[in-house]
Structure 1
Amino acid sequence: MIERNGRVALVAVLATLPTSVTPAWSQDITDEGEFIGTVVLGESRRGVITNTATATTELNQEELDERQASTLSQLLDTVPGVTIVNGSTPQGSAINIRGLGSQAGSYGSDGMVSVVIDGVQKGQEEIYRSGGLLTMEPELFKQVKVTRGPGDGFRYSSGAIGGTIEAETKDAADFLIDGDTFAFRQKFGYESNGDGFLTTSILAWAPDDKLDVIAFGGYRSNGNRTDGSGVEQADTAFNLPSGLLKAEYKFSDELTLSGSISYTENDEKDVSYDAFSAAPFWGVVDRYTKDTTAYAALNYNPLDNDLIDLTAKFIFSDEQINLSSANISSDLYNSDHHTTRTAFLVENYASFASGGIDHYVTTGIEIGRRERSSLTDTGYNSVLAPGGTDDYVAFYATDEMTIGALTITPQMRYETQNLTSDNNLTTADGTEYSTDSVVGGISAFYQLNDNFAVFGTAAYNENMPLLDDLSNPLFITQTEKGVTYEAGVSYDGFGVFAANDALKFKITGFNTRIWDGTTYQFVDQTNLHGVELEMAYVNPAFYADFNASRTRGTINDTSDYFNYAPADRAILTLGKRFAEDQIDLSTEIVHGWANDRTSSTVGATAPSDSFTAVGFAASYIPNSGFAKDVEFRATVENAFNETYRPYLSTRNAIGRNFKLSVSKVF
């Protein structure tokens, strides 16, 4: 039996859950060896994934609910190795993983971090100072997985040297229990800093065992924020309507049709052109941002054939950033950036044994097109955002081979693209540039004993040219290449310090070398190395999560700093559950070390001071009475009103912020 809040009461069910979300448990055995029961310890807020060779962190629905994030980027801000640029605003934020992913303060994306929503890759173009790809409403998602480094990214991209973020939207089954055919969930939320308001409504419907449907509608509104000193941060206000429609129909036990469409928009008036900071000299624009993501998939999985689990999927993505200025005529300030991606994907998962080796093989082929335009009043695309088409074909394959305690996973991806210029002033219509690449990696995981395991990865990537590079004769013909090595150790043990406790930790070291650089000005070669630690501890008295990361970077085979390498950071969460897990109280402490490993003196990469920010969270979900299953949540962010600017951000972090929410499934 699985209760609504995710607590598990049967050991048989526990054994089937992923490591990251399985509550710690131990078996009590008498001196004579008789089994007398199972002690369920509960779980920490996040847990640690110890059974993979990749540096992967999963945020499940419970953690997403407890964090009460105002933006998608805030969901990711506590993952080791991940640094968020301006996390309090959807449009002016960006992702940095191990120093890669955004040119902080200038571009929201550099192609070296993949963001994937329901299997649809998002964002792949640089739009100067106009924001990134994190506009989507965080309440849409039930799980977010972050893989640091290229480990599992070959399924989606040739160039994800920094990492891959996979977000999965909610399903009807998440709200239907005990044979329900209909459920309705309503949530209201409020936050004090910016006088923010949130409402979301979810309708889940499953009239029989063949069809289930979910419809989501939400609206989030925030005013301008203030930092710890009470100084208002201009242009941090936003209004974010969102929606989701998702359905699945089972023709039989073997054939399933599913589809989804999600929508988010952000309409800003009289804001700075620079979405990353409200610098007056950049001038004022109206900025309208819209994101639509959709897919339709048909899965065929015959029950008597382990070699076939075939999915055919059509994907569509539409991203818009429309800019207009009443006072400035430059096409930089008056352009409609519009990027669409349409693709058809066929993927198969097969399992078989051969010569004592268990194989789990994933193969896929994707054929697609990206179309990009940035129309201005001139009738042509903006000079800084050239338009055209990107036609591509990609094939990928992964074979997870298990031999006893050893798992070896080779991966490869072949991709070819053809970029064609269209409606640009600087590059003639029809000008074509073709590129192809063969990339891949191999990882190994070895379980030394019941507790310890070691793992390692070696990967080669090529970050292929973007349509933005059409205006650069060197970059448009050159791929950005990188080699990454990772090694680490993990531990998973019970009864470590007390009879009924559990400890998990994972340490990952990495070294990345990038050459033929096209992302950063005057940077041909980048060398990055670092270490990341994740730890989770639970016992009947309390739970604790701890993570820390350290990254160092240099450029051009010199000792010169790579300015986008993040600052060192550590995060500790301590919590306790009471009253049969109805009440959960926790505190989170974030410490960022000062960073002067930079040649910049201004902006996002200017030196930053150390800081310590403390937050508190409380939830109450009664299991009986008139308020049964109502979720009451309260959070205090930056409780002591610390004034600080995280390194790579252009704005100070927001000051003290009280968040309250109440939700109920009917």
Structure 2
Amino acid sequence: MKINTLRRALLCSASAAALAVTAGAGFAQDLVDEDGFLGYLVLGNNKRDVQTATAVPETVINAEEIQDRQAGSVAELIDSVPGVTLVNAGTPTGAGINIRGFGADGTYGSNQKVQIQLDGASTGSEELYRIGTQLYTDPSLFREVSVIRGTVGSYEYGSGIIGGVVQLETIDAADLTEGEIGLSGRQTFEYYGNANTRISSTILGWQPSENLEFLLNYTYREQGNYSDGDGNEISNTGYKLPSYLAKAKYSFGNNANQSLTFSTTHTTSDEQDVPYDAFAGTGFFGNVDRYIETTTTSLKYAYTPIGNDLIDLTATLSYADQFIEQDEVGNTGSTLLNADHRYETTKLTVKNTALFDAFGLSHSLRAGGEIIRKERLDASSAPGGTDKRFALFAIDEMDFGNGLTLTPAMRFETQDIESSSDGTYVSQGERFDNSELMGGISARYAFGNGVAVFGSVAYTAGLPILDDFDYETYATYMTQSEKSVTYELGASYDREGLWSGDDQLRAKVNLWMTRLWDYTSSTDYQTVDRVSTEGVEIEASYSHGSGTYVDMNANLSSGEWSYVDGTTADYTRMPANSLGLTVGKKFNDKLDMSWEAVMTKNVNATPGYAVHNLRATYPIDTSMLKEAEIRLGIENLFDKQYTPHLATRPAAGRNIKLSLAAAF
């Protein structure tokens, strides 16, 4: 990180902590000055807890926040997490997730540096040319979304994860029935004024007995083209997105200590006469009729015997299938525009958590293995083949009993990758075998007064992917893994009763640095020697018993390309430096009102901006329903015209969102 940027980051960290301590003393103002710098303020969300009890940089978005955000896509749910940015937003096909500068880059919608898992199924990590993140599942289907940033917390989820992991957990029937026998449900209707968006979500949960539960959800989302802050209609941003979720759980055994859970989600998208380039939304490559069908299915067995701390076992068999059918509008016969794609990933993951004491320490050892099989249909710009992997992993959290916790982690992964057809350079049936041992260690020390310090070092390696068959130098790249090491250092503070008996302050600051070498996963692969990225991420929250809350998160980061000829350049895929503030109040556990400011700094010719959002939730008393509530959100309150950093099109202008939900 450049000295000036680092100095600002450290000053920002100190100022953010000071603001969290004096949260009730003042409010934010528009801090974007003529140079684009924001001043020292913070951004946050009132429904979110800061994860101060772990050294892992993790953010958890619960069901209440999912509903509160009224997001149009899964990507929009997590764009307020520090270090996360979107390559576009609001349209599933043309959006991608970027974490700490890795993942979506505007050319490819995703890669293995950001892992996305839905109920344990791995999805959305293929380098599909100029099509988005391939994560089309509707936000209404989820009860929790967690984002792990960086490598240190990723070893049980995959290899080559540098940006982070997005974990999506679907809703359960028990979320509706509250564990009681009977039928429950929830119906939600939403309308967004900008783009004339209409949403209907119907959820039914049924427990015929204490040990058996079923859930069914159907969500239909339809959006027209949205308008930007200047009132210009942004073409090719409309879509229709029907989704469903079916889920069943059966508990059995002694005191129901075993269970089987089955879940399946299915989403389709049908677009007619749209640009092939879903990112830019222009017709440079030509137009296509594009039909997308996404299915994820998982079967999970869990065994947790009472009184046996050595066994907490889960075995998950998952399957993710995505089919993309494209037909060119016109008669040029383009192989790119007429290419059909299909990605199938079958995975078996077995893991166990054991609690025990040994060598004077308390251990929480989580260990397991994975068998993974990926199959991809051969298509233009997407070589087909089979990628078979086997992995073992172990994470041991060792508690010394004096406030010190050490957590070593490792993953060993082997690979057998094979081409399924003749390509420009590769021949059908060519195979390569690879293996890598990777690992890291984190340490956390809690002083007992609410203050804790932590640090980690983590090494990972990204094994070759099927896309690497597409290069003339494939024989080299199919035997060379991408390697990276990440260092992290931070501190947290968690205190109840700071100024009164019913207030709480939580804060966490994390500085990180990543070095990536043997770089092969981009169009720049031939000239790049390594990539260096670093930054600081801040999260904090203050709440008072009166119902007032002030929350924050912030991100400052930078990166650098190092080329084989010895020259360097700014790494332009980093998230923009961002800060903001959320101030809210809950009135008598009824009305919840909040104001949020989202701000960024000028970066790489992208102007900085400040956007303001208002949100309100009010429960409706009714004797007929279990609960009912109305939500009103106004995003981009002042109709600001802006284009987010890394985005290829302007953001939406003012958008009034209205939701009505009722449960029975």
Same fold (TM over 0.5): yes
AA matched with 1:356: G
2:62 is aligned with 1:60: yes
Secondary structure at the aligned position of 2:586 is classed as: strand
Instruction: Give runs of aligned pairs for residues 302-313 of structure 1, distance below 5 A.
Output: 302-313=305-316
Once the 2 structures are TM-superposed, how far is the Cα of residue 565 of structure 1 from its aligned partner? Answer: 1.4
Counterpart of 1:445 in structure 2 is 444
Counterpart of 1:16 in structure 2 is none
The question of whether the paired residues in 1 share the 8 Å contact of 2:181 and 2:209 is answered with no
Secondary structure at the aligned position of 1:80 is classed as: coil
**Alpha-carbon distance change, 628 to 179 in structure 1, aligned in 2, over 3 angstroms:** closer
Counterpart of 2:552 in structure 1 is 546
Instruction: Give the Cα separation in 2 of the matches to 1:270 and 1:167.
Output: 32
Instruction: Give the Cα separation in 2 of the matches to 1:369 and 1:494.
Output: 48
Counterpart of 1:128 in structure 2 is 129
Instruction: Give runs of aligned pairs for residues 39-78 of structure 1, distance below 5 A.
Output: 44-78=46-80
* Structure 1 counterpart of 2:384, from 387, 392, 403: 387
Instruction: Give the Cα separation in 1 of the matches to 2:294 and 2:272.
Output: 18
Secondary structure at the aligned position of 1:653 is classed as: coil
Once the 2 structures are TM-superposed, how far is the Cα of residue 628 of structure 1 from its aligned partner? Answer: 6.3
Instruction: Give the Cα separation in 1 of the matches to 2:130 and 2:341.
Output: 13
- Partner deviation per Cα, 1:43-100 (whole Å, 9 max, x = no partner): 9421211000011111001111100101111101111110111111111111111111
Once the 2 structures are TM-superposed, how far is the Cα of residue 310 of structure 1 from its aligned partner? Answer: 2.0
Instruction: Give the Cα separation in 2 of the matches to 1:558 and 1:533.
Output: 32
- Partner deviation per Cα, 1:430-475 (whole Å, 9 max, x = no partner): 1001111111111111101221000111000111111111122132
The question of whether the paired residues in 2 share the 8 Å contact of 1:494 and 1:502 is answered with yes
Counterpart of 2:511 in structure 1 is 509
The question of whether the paired residues in 2 share the 8 Å contact of 1:518 and 1:524 is answered with no
The question of whether the paired residues in 2 share the 8 Å contact of 1:454 and 1:489 is answered with yes
Instruction: Give the Cα separation in 2 of the matches to 1:573 and 1:134.
Output: 28
2:604 is aligned with 1:577: no
AA matched with 1:268: E
Counterpart of 1:526 in structure 2 is 531
2:397 is aligned with 1:400: yes
AA matched with 1:546: M
Once the 2 structures are TM-superposed, how far is the Cα of residue 356 of structure 1 from its aligned partner? Answer: 2.8
Secondary structure at the aligned position of 1:319 is classed as: strand
Instruction: Give the Cα separation in 2 of the matches to 1:570 and 1:358.
Output: 39
Counterpart of 1:480 in structure 2 is 482
Counterpart of 1:457 in structure 2 is 456
The question of whether the paired residues in 1 share the 8 Å contact of 2:622 and 2:628 is answered with no
Counterpart of 1:555 in structure 2 is 561
Report which stretch shifted further, 197-206 or 308-317. Answer: 308-317
* Structure 2 counterpart of 1:587, from 595, 599, 602: 595
Counterpart of 2:95 in structure 1 is 93
The question of whether the paired residues in 2 share the 8 Å contact of 1:93 and 1:134 is answered with no
Counterpart of 1:6 in structure 2 is none
Instruction: Give the Cα separation in 1 of the matches to 2:658 and 2:389.
Output: 46
The question of whether the paired residues in 2 share the 8 Å contact of 1:622 and 1:628 is answered with no
- Partner deviation per Cα, 1:469-514 (whole Å, 9 max, x = no partner): 1122132221110000001000011232445321110000000000
Secondary structure at the aligned position of 2:615 is classed as: strand
Counterpart of 2:273 in structure 1 is 270
AA matched with 1:464: L
AA matched with 2:263: S
Instruction: Give the Cα separation in 2 of the matches to 1:283 and 1:650.
Output: 17
Instruction: Give the Cα separation in 2 of the matches to 1:99 and 1:197.
Output: 33
The question of whether the paired residues in 2 share the 8 Å contact of 1:510 and 1:531 is answered with yes
Secondary structure at the aligned position of 1:128 is classed as: coil
The question of whether the paired residues in 1 share the 8 Å contact of 2:267 and 2:295 is answered with yes
Counterpart of 1:158 in structure 2 is 159
Counterpart of 2:32 in structure 1 is none
Report which stretch shifted further, 555-564 or 323-332. Answer: 555-564
CA RMSD of aligned residues (A): 1.5
AA matched with 1:284: N
* Structure 2 counterpart of 1:259, from 248, 259, 262: 262
2:608 is aligned with 1:610: yes
Counterpart of 2:35 in structure 1 is none
Q: Could you state the TM-score of these two structures normalised by the residue count of structure 2?
A: 0.89
The question of whether the paired residues in 2 share the 8 Å contact of 1:310 and 1:349 is answered with yes
Secondary structure at the aligned position of 2:209 is classed as: coil
AA matched with 2:548: F
Instruction: Give the Cα separation in 2 of the matches to 1:373 and 1:628.
Output: 48
Aligned pairs, number: 605
Secondary structure at the aligned position of 1:143 is classed as: strand
AA matched with 2:328: S
Once the 2 structures are TM-superposed, how far is the Cα of residue 300 of structure 1 from its aligned partner? Answer: 2.1
The question of whether the paired residues in 2 share the 8 Å contact of 1:263 and 1:292 is answered with yes
Once the 2 structures are TM-superposed, how far is the Cα of residue 140 of structure 1 from its aligned partner? Answer: 0.7
Counterpart of 1:182 in structure 2 is 183
Once the 2 structures are TM-superposed, how far is the Cα of residue 178 of structure 1 from its aligned partner? Answer: 6.9
Once the 2 structures are TM-superposed, how far is the Cα of residue 425 of structure 1 from its aligned partner? Answer: 2.9
The question of whether the paired residues in 2 share the 8 Å contact of 1:45 and 1:545 is answered with no
Q: Could you state the TM-score of these two structures normalised by the residue count of structure 1?
A: 0.89
AA matched with 2:506: K
Instruction: Give the Cα separation in 1 of the matches to 2:264 and 2:179.
Output: 27
Report which stretch shifted further, 514-523 or 177-186. Answer: 177-186
Secondary structure at the aligned position of 2:442 is classed as: strand
Report which stretch shifted further, 476-485 or 301-310. Answer: 301-310
Instruction: Give the Cα separation in 1 of the matches to 2:281 and 2:303.
Output: 51
Secondary structure at the aligned position of 2:335 is classed as: coil
- Partner deviation per Cα, 1:176-225 (whole Å, 9 max, x = no partner): 13724210211111001110000011110111111011111110000011
Once the 2 structures are TM-superposed, how far is the Cα of residue 155 of structure 1 from its aligned partner? Answer: 0.7
The question of whether the paired residues in 2 share the 8 Å contact of 1:92 and 1:131 is answered with yes
Instruction: Give the Cα separation in 2 of the matches to 1:452 and 1:510.
Output: 19
The question of whether the paired residues in 2 share the 8 Å contact of 1:77 and 1:87 is answered with no
* Structure 1 counterpart of 2:377, from 361, 368, 373: 373
**Alpha-carbon distance change, 89 to 169 in structure 1, aligned in 2, over 3 angstroms:** same
Instruction: Give the Cα separation in 2 of the matches to 1:283 and 1:497.
Output: 62
Secondary structure at the aligned position of 2:205 is classed as: strand
Counterpart of 1:3 in structure 2 is none
Counterpart of 1:338 in structure 2 is 342
Secondary structure at the aligned position of 2:460 is classed as: strand
The question of whether the paired residues in 1 share the 8 Å contact of 2:221 and 2:240 is answered with yes
Counterpart of 1:17 in structure 2 is none
AA matched with 1:410: P
* Percent of paired sites with the same residue: 41
Instruction: Give the Cα separation in 1 of the matches to 2:177 and 2:260.
Output: 19
- Partner deviation per Cα, 1:577-632 (whole Å, 9 max, x = no partner): 11x21110001100011102xxxxxxxxxx20010000100000135656762011
Once the 2 structures are TM-superposed, how far is the Cα of residue 403 of structure 1 from its aligned partner? Answer: 1.3
Once the 2 structures are TM-superposed, how far is the Cα of residue 302 of structure 1 from its aligned partner? Answer: 2.0
The question of whether the paired residues in 1 share the 8 Å contact of 2:626 and 2:663 is answered with no
Once the 2 structures are TM-superposed, how far is the Cα of residue 283 of structure 1 from its aligned partner? Answer: 1.0
Secondary structure at the aligned position of 2:75 is classed as: helix
Gaps of 5+ in 2: 1-44
2:407 is aligned with 1:409: yes
AA matched with 1:438: L
The question of whether the paired residues in 2 share the 8 Å contact of 1:210 and 1:249 is answered with yes
Report which stretch shifted further, 628-637 or 526-535. Answer: 628-637
Instruction: Give the Cα separation in 2 of the matches to 1:627 and 1:261.
Output: 29
Instruction: Give the Cα separation in 2 of the matches to 1:541 and 1:174.
Output: 25
Secondary structure at the aligned position of 2:365 is classed as: strand
AA matched with 1:302: P
- Partner deviation per Cα, 1:225-266 (whole Å, 9 max, x = no partner): 111111111111010000011111012222211111011111
Instruction: Give the Cα separation in 1 of the matches to 2:465 and 2:568.
Output: 29
Counterpart of 2:288 in structure 1 is 285
Once the 2 structures are TM-superposed, how far is the Cα of residue 423 of structure 1 from its aligned partner? Answer: 2.1
Which has the higher relative contact order, 1 or 2, with Cα contacts under 8 A spaced 6 or more apart? 2
